[in-house]
Chains A and B, each alone.
Chain A
Amino acid sequence: MKYTQGKYIIKNKSAIAKNTYSYTVRCPEVADIAQPGQFAHIRVDGFTLRRPVSICEIDKKCGTIRIVFEIRGNGTEELSKLNEGSLIDMLAPLGHGFTLNSKFKKVILIGGGIGTPPMLSLAQYYGEKSVAITGFRGAGSVILQEDFKNSGAENIVCTDDGSYGIHGFVTQPFGDILKKGGIDAVYACGPMPMLKKISEMSKENNIANCEISLEERMGCGIGACLVCACKTKKNDEEYFAHVCKEGPVFNAEEVIW
């Protein structure tokens, strides 16, 4: 695993939904080696612990990565105060990302709420071979729709309150697509109940590759302090994996719910 720590310049900042910000950061050495599903561990002034945020887009040509985050507490609120031209302190790229396979013909990407951003880098890899199903609370929190379209992926949007797209959860269109068959892989990031349901549905439909991205509170972010443990199974043996190093992406089969 390779990573660096540095202060990088924010080239572009935009507010893309209520309390949700997008930063494009110039960091060629990170962009060069970053993989979809990896994350950046971001230092926030005035806080002891860094904040983990997924890498949403990787542009090796421009030497940039993009992150998209929602204000959840004091740290992300402080982070949102940075502006274009400010420096952002990142330790990146970290963790084990999604498995990519150029032979796959059809993949499904599922993002729940603020779990949607890492799905975009996958959409950019798979392009037209991917269907991105994204779910949000309501119309006001829908994000990245335009970006999915530009990547060539089909984007199906769901909202809990029906104020936009399909009224209901992502599992509904997911079930419909599964019925049609021909799916090589499923990738998902979002709330635990959603991930659990998706893993079960994938298993029932004999999808060989179902990968999910988990969240856990972190210290070092690189596998040294062991605070981010999550119970998994490896060859049917219980095993405490580290979300920051062995994850955040796990094969759904490995997770103990």
Chain B
Amino acid sequence: MSDLSVNVCGVNFKNPIIPASGVFGYGREYEELFPLSALGGIATKGTTITRRNGNPSPRIAETPSGMLNSVGLQNPGIDKFIDTELPNLLKKNTVILANIAGSTIDECVKIAEKLSSTDVHMIELNISCPNVKQGGAAFGTCPETAGEITRKVKNVLPDKPLVVKLSPNVTNITDIAKSVEAGGADAVSLINTVLGMRIDINTGRPILKNNVGGMSGPAVFPLAVRMVWQTANAVKIPVIGMGGVSSGKDAIEMMMAGASAIQVGAAIFTDPFAPIKIIQEMNDFLDTKKIKSISDIIGSVKPW
């Protein structure tokens, strides 16, 4: 049994595996299958200031080795989240990352203010959602606004670790990462989904009612590993890696690239037990290689 625990900007995770925001809801449905305490942490569904219904259906499409989604941040709003979901989650003996999103900087600040007085362990600020018309990805694709929004949100969260979630839909991810680091982010997480599209050739219509959506799943894995590696080399704050991780080997690979913890999204649709299996497989890998602590592999890739 190796030591799987990791520390990400002062927060202890019993293992590095975190179901990603949006695929896991608030954990209730998965609790039927396994105890949530087995997880390193949980990133909750993106929450906005007021309730959102999201985009019209269909909101999901299959792609080669992956999928597209265009949910569009359907959620009950921050007050309902704080009143009904968060207290329950905080009892589960796992790290809770509250994922938040807004269509204006003000909105993001207001949501963060509401969370600052709760016991949530970390805030994950999504500046990269491709599925909302205003804000969302627009913040995440310009280094200046990304830095500004980070600074303003961090301002109201002096005591809580702030993770800023980055978009892969940019020319240079390291510029954005450096900018949010300068703005006071305690960590960054990446990648959010990659903008994609599928068309039904029999009807000539896009499969998603939103026409375009965010791609995730194994197909984006190499892209995510590259971006995690570049970002980890560009900033001093920890990187939480995600994008296409579906096995323990994938998680190890992404940690070697520089990730301090790993989020798992689409793989949970394929196999709801994926996070549990990934934890087990990581443990087996470390045991076989006689590596004592998972922390030893973070950023251990030896580039040519």
Contacts and interface: CB of A to CB of B under 8 A. Distances in A.
A152 B111 CA distance: 59
A2 B65 CA distance: 29
A48 B272 CA distance: 12
B176 interface: no
Given A49-B62, A227-B71, A240-B54, A219 B33 contact: no
A224 B24 contact: yes
B83 interface: no
Interface in B48-80: 53-54, 57-63, 65-67, 69, 71, 74
Contacts of A30: none
Nearest to B65: A48
Interface string B267-279: 0111111000000
A217 B67 contact: no
A84 interface: no
Interface secondary structure of B, over-half rule: loop
A3 interface: yes
Contacts of A222: 29-30, 32, 272
A196 B276 CA distance: 43
Nearest to A223: B29
Contact of B269 (A2, A4, A220, A245): A220
Contacts of A230: 57
Contacts of B28: 223-224
A47 interface: yes
Contact of B266 (A4, A48, A240): A48
A49 B67 contact: yes
A63 B148 CA distance: 60
A228 B266 CA distance: 15
Interface footprint category on A: 20 to 34
A200 interface: no
A220 B272 contact: yes
Contacts of A226: 22, 25, 45, 54, 59, 71, 74
Contacts of A48: 62-63, 65-67, 217-218, 266, 269-270
A106 interface: no
Given A48-B66, A219-B23, A225 B269 contact: yes
B71 A225 contact: yes
A216 B24 contact: no
B60 A217 contact: yes
A47 B71 contact: no
Contact of A217 (B22, B27, B33, B59): B59
Contact of A43 (B25, B29, B53, B270): B270
Nearest to A4: B33
A3 B71 contact: no
A114 interface: no
A229 interface: yes
Interface footprint category on B: 35 or more
A37 B28 CA distance: 23
Contacts of A1: 32
A245 B29 CA distance: 10
A216 B58 CA distance: 7
A50 interface: yes
Nearest to A74: B62
Contacts of B71: 225-227, 229
A91 interface: yes
Contacts of A2: 32
Contact of B57 (A50, A216, A220): A216
A4 B30 CA distance: 10
Given A48-B270, A224-B30, A225-B22, A219 B45 contact: no
A5 interface: yes
B202 to A, nearest CB: 11
B10 to A, nearest CB: 29
Contacts of A50: 269-270
A185 interface: no
A225 to B, nearest CB: 5
A75 B62 contact: yes
Contacts of B218: 48
A186 B299 CA distance: 61
A10 interface: no
9 pairs of A and B residues whose beta carbons are closest in the complex: A224-B25, A227-B60, A222-B29, A224-B29, A217-B58, A227-B59, A226-B74, A48-B217, A217-B60
Interface of A: 1-5, 43, 47-50, 75, 91, 216-220, 222-230, 240, 245
8 contacts: A4-B33, A48-B62, A48-B63, A91-B272, A219-B60, A226-B22, A229-B59, A240-B54
Interface of B: 22-25, 27-30, 32-33, 45, 53-54, 57-63, 65-67, 69, 71, 74, 217-218, 266, 268-273
Given A3-B33, A220-B269, 7 more contacts: A5-B273, A48-B269, A219-B60, A220-B268, A224-B27, A228-B60, A230-B57
